[in-house]
Amino acid sequence: MAQAKGQSRQDEATPFILVAAMLIGLGLNWLAHGALAFLHPLVNIGIFLVITAVMFGVRTADLRGALRKRKATALALTTNFVIIPGVAWLLGWLFLRHNPDLWIGLILYALTPCVGWYLIFIDAAQGDVAWGATLLPWKLGLQILLLPLYLWYWSATCSI
């Protein structure tokens, strides 16, 4: 595997380590017949620690510059809260209209994208972590405000 310019072996391996850790955890829980489910809070703690480590690399000056990226922010928010919900609704209508429970699950999944994990992958890809961090409050706030509206719309238009 060719190493990206400026990327350390550790940076290059990070996505594989994360996926391997998930697979190992799932495998161990499966082998223990679900008896390890009580360890689930450790996963959240681990994710929090990784995201915190990524955030420590963000400088305040970088955040100020990222806040000026109005067009990119508008595009990201439009994608997350207009295009993706529209595609989810359309896919649900095409494939799940006779299974409303699955359709609402798809809607919920599409409307509540992970708000922290993507920072880990932005960092691994040597992207603009500061800009990703400035999107966090927007994404959290819009999820809280829009989820009830989207669910109301779904229930009003998609009832069978």
Give 94's pLDDT tier (boundaries 50, 70, 90): very high
Give the pLDDT mean for 112-121: 75
Pure H helices in the chain: 9-31, 40-56, 60-67, 70-78, 84-95, 100-111, 117-124, 129-157
Predicted confidence (pLDDT) at residue 3 exceeds the cutoff of 50:
no
CA 4 to chain centre: 24
Given a cut of 80, whether residue 148 has pLDDT beyond it is yes
More confident residue, 16 or 138: 138
Q: Which one is predicted more confidently, 154 or 95?
A: 95
**What distance lies between CA 104 and its chain's CA centroid?**
19
For the whole model, what pTM was predicted? 0.67
The mean pLDDT value for 13-26 works out to 81
d(CA 78, CA 1): 35
Ranges 59-73, 79-93, 107-121: which has the least confidence: 107-121
